[in-house]
Structure 1
Amino acid sequence: MSGEELQQRITNAIQAYRDEIDRTRREINEVESLLRQNMAEVDRLAMRETSIANRVRDLDVNLDRYEKTDIKTFFSTLIEVQMRLQTMRAQVDQLQARREALRNRQSLLSDVVELLEQAASELARSAKVADLPFDPQTMIANIIQSQESERLRISLQMHDGPAQAMSNLVLRAEICQRLLDRDLDQARAELVALKTAVNNTLQETRKFIFDLRPMTLDDLGLVPTLRRYVAQVAEKHKIDINLMVQNLDQRLPGHYEVTIFRFIQEAINNVVRHSGATQARVMLENSDNVLQILIEDNGNGFAVKEAIASAGTRKNMGLANMRQQIEVLLQGEFGIESSIGRGTRVAATVPLP
């Protein structure tokens, strides 16, 4: 099998799995809707059961006050409600199990798509870099290395972020526990502070989850997700970031939106971490079905040639990833301009489907 034939088969498989992920997502939404309805019905029936049970207990105490037909009605209604409640609870359990199975399937399919995309990326990059025979072992090794690098990055972020914050919360909770037996007023003050710390940790964890995989990307699309992300970065790092979007009202295919978001995210991360900039501009413009992307800042700048020459090293892996995202995954063009003391300009051109 030739490299082109293999590339086409991988592309077809990716699309098929994406379609299956979409179907699974729709089914999850339907199951969750049914689950909400059934849980509301369970709550209603439980309240009704409690009410009828109270009437039955009153009947048992004051039996002489009720007619025989009323007694029969109470007991038959109670049995009917209990049977209905039992049935609805069983349906809730089934729906929850179904939802969990669908979520596991969606996660598995997403992992398969990610693996296939990495395989296609490696195959395409190999074809562009050199006219060499396709080496599956090398491709798999590169995929595994890429996955491990990403897992290392996530584990470090977890250690420095949520895990550290959780450790601090445990210590503060222990302080509150000790104070309860000695100084209630101080304990109350510590509990208020602990509540604030928990809320801050929750917000930071949500931001961490958003950085890993923003749910709004699936629900609302690229532009709303970018607006939220840019606003968060600007507020957190005190950088004036201006986002401009023109002629991009329609949704793009899922893999386009994910790849473009990751590209811009990496560029903004570079601005925050390395540039020392106080201002940045992000622009997306759709012109004749070609998306122009521009990220520029007023930061320190850097020597482009040296950075490109070391793009494969750990220090400049982000630059290599950005080039791969645009040129390999989206078949576009990538460019970067910078010089010491004059800021940086990252540009990309992506043909839209």
Structure 2
Amino acid sequence: MANTFSKVERINEILQETIYSIESSKEEITEIVEYARDDVKHIEKELFEIKERVDKVIKEVNLLEIEERKSRAYLSNVSKNFRIYTEEDLKDAYDKANECRIRLLLKREEEKRLIERRKEQEFRLKSAIEVFEKAEKVRKSVSVVTEYLKGNLDEILFTVDHLNKRQVLGIKIIEAQEEERERLARDIHDGPAQSMANILVKAEICERLMDIDRNKSREELKNLKTIVRTTLKDLRKTIYDLRPMSLDDLGLIPTLERYIYNFIDYSGIDVKLNIMGDVVNLNSAIEVAVFRIIQESLNNVFKHSKATEARITLEYSPTRLNLSIVDNGIGFNQEEVNKIGGSATGGFGLISIKERVELLEGNIEIKSWPGRGTRINIYIMLPEEES
């Protein structure tokens, strides 16, 4: 009894630490929300200034068009009545008409550039608003979780059957949270942040080349568009990795099919998805865990295995979910992967997969042979309501 009481006390400490960690994360998320809100306001201000410049340039273009038409009409009149006007008059009329035409061409080019900048800024604003809304949603969710844990702490302590697993679960929550924050920070720093810095440099180059070398400027603008597209793709991938919305909207199988399609596109690895049995809607936690397991497995295949093919089989049975992931890569030493430290190639990814399976009270078998690929078999027992 005393041992059980000490375990409950330990669980209480873990939950308190979890709440503290979540509250600390909430402060950081709040900072992210504020940064996203400021970014939206900054982009809105820039967009407003660009729109004002566009309106001004459009009016200038209209006036120049009128002036250019008048100069051409005057030149035509002078040319027709050459007996009335002198050669000097004809030359002045031609110079004025040519000057008006050049000014009009330059102003139209400026109008075109500003309109393109307005479109890009509108797209930036839309993306920034989406990021802000998602960050705000995450902040609200974390607040709800924190209040729930605080208000239901005693109930949680006395309704969980497996106290030892609860201890492990509390630690894993903290570790998983820190790992996810570190991964997200690394992905943003190495991907979109670097690309945004590159975009800024390219934009400055284009601005300087605009009046010097138009052909080179166009070439730099094309490069800039390519960088922007890549940055947008990276941002969408980061957002998708945080939480694939299609899991809630479409379910596990369509989300997997979409993820695998994109994975094949950027990795070049041929992945086959085979679904067996009658597909049923599972508990959201199980579907998220299965998706993350497959996602982590394919990441390992892409980063470490040097495989050209992979096969995923997901079998629905009345009482359990069977999952196998097989690749034809270089494999690894089976003894290394069994080490808890995960020193083998891709070991930390495999540890993450093992932890997810254990949290679902499932079983996992990992078999690998150097030069002959890797096979992962996972068996997850379904709760009675799922069965």
Change (3 A) 1:125 1:302: farther
> Which residue matches 1:301?
331
- Distance in 2 (CA, whole Å) between partners of 1:233 and 1:99 is 24
- Distance in 2 (CA, whole Å) between partners of 1:125 and 1:280 is 37
Instruction: Give the AA of the match of 2:143.
Output: L
The question of whether the paired residues in 1 share the 8 Å contact of 2:324 and 2:378 is answered with yes
- Distance in 1 (CA, whole Å) between partners of 2:199 and 2:325 is 38
- Map Cα deviations across residues 324-343 of structure 1 (whole Å, 9 max, x no partner): 2112x211111111111111
> Which residue matches 2:218?
188
Helix, strand or coil at the partner of 1:309: coil
- Map Cα deviations across residues 261-316 of structure 1 (whole Å, 9 max, x no partner): 11111111111111111110001010223111000001111112222114456962
Match of 2:141 among 106, 125, 129: 106
> Which residue matches 1:350?
380
Question: Percent same amino acid at aligned positions?
Answer: 39
Within 5 Å, give how 1:67-82 maps onto structure 2: none
Instruction: Give the AA of the match of 1:325.
Output: R
> Which residue matches 2:306?
276
> Which residue matches 1:318?
349
- Distance in 1 (CA, whole Å) between partners of 2:135 and 2:179 is 29
- Map Cα deviations across residues 220-259 of structure 1 (whole Å, 9 max, x no partner): 1111111111111111111110011123532211111111
Helix, strand or coil at the partner of 2:338: helix
Change (3 A) 1:111 1:152: farther
> Which residue matches 1:335?
365
Instruction: Give the AA of the match of 2:350.
Output: L
Instruction: Give the AA of the match of 1:321.
Output: S
Instruction: Give the AA of the match of 1:127.
Output: N
Helix, strand or coil at the partner of 2:323: strand
The question of whether the paired residues in 1 share the 8 Å contact of 2:332 and 2:370 is answered with yes
> Which residue matches 1:258?
288
1:292 matches 2:322: yes
Q: Which moved more, 1:186-195 or 1:262-271?
A: 186-195
Change (3 A) 1:254 1:241: same
Helix, strand or coil at the partner of 1:157: helix
Instruction: Give the AA of the match of 1:183.
Output: D
- Distance in 1 (CA, whole Å) between partners of 2:210 and 2:145 is 48
Change (3 A) 1:114 1:190: farther
The question of whether the paired residues in 2 share the 8 Å contact of 1:308 and 1:319 is answered with no
Within 5 Å, give how 1:224-243 maps onto structure 2: 224-243=254-273
- Distance in 1 (CA, whole Å) between partners of 2:148 and 2:268 is 37
The question of whether the paired residues in 1 share the 8 Å contact of 2:363 and 2:379 is answered with yes
Helix, strand or coil at the partner of 2:322: strand
Instruction: Give the AA of the match of 1:195.
Output: K
The question of whether the paired residues in 2 share the 8 Å contact of 1:263 and 1:325 is answered with yes
1:217 matches 2:254: no
| Residue 124 of structure 1, CA deviation | 9.0
| Residue 188 of structure 1, CA deviation | 3.1
Unaligned regions of 5+ residues in structure 1, if any? 11-97, 129-133
Change (3 A) 1:99 1:206: closer
- Distance in 2 (CA, whole Å) between partners of 1:242 and 1:330 is 25
Change (3 A) 1:143 1:112: farther
| Residue 102 of structure 1, CA deviation | 6.6
TM-score, normalization by structure 2: 0.57
| Residue 192 of structure 1, CA deviation | 3.2
| Residue 197 of structure 1, CA deviation | 2.3
Instruction: Give the AA of the match of 1:323.
Output: K
Unaligned regions of 5+ residues in structure 2, if any? 16-132
Helix, strand or coil at the partner of 1:182: coil
> Which residue matches 1:89?
none
CA radius of gyration, larger in: 2
The question of whether the paired residues in 1 share the 8 Å contact of 2:316 and 2:322 is answered with yes
| Residue 101 of structure 1, CA deviation | 7.5
- Distance in 2 (CA, whole Å) between partners of 1:237 and 1:290 is 31
Change (3 A) 1:267 1:103: closer
| Residue 100 of structure 1, CA deviation | 9.5
The question of whether the paired residues in 1 share the 8 Å contact of 2:364 and 2:379 is answered with yes
Q: Which moved more, 1:295-304 or 1:155-164?
A: 155-164
Match of 1:244 among 269, 274, 293: 274
TM-score, normalization by structure 1: 0.62
The question of whether the paired residues in 2 share the 8 Å contact of 1:333 and 1:349 is answered with yes
> Which residue matches 1:127?
164
> Which residue matches 1:163?
193
Change (3 A) 1:103 1:205: closer
- Distance in 1 (CA, whole Å) between partners of 2:136 and 2:144 is 12
| Residue 195 of structure 1, CA deviation | 2.2
| Residue 201 of structure 1, CA deviation | 1.6
State the Cα RMSD in Å.
3.6
Change (3 A) 1:341 1:312: closer
The question of whether the paired residues in 2 share the 8 Å contact of 1:278 and 1:298 is answered with yes
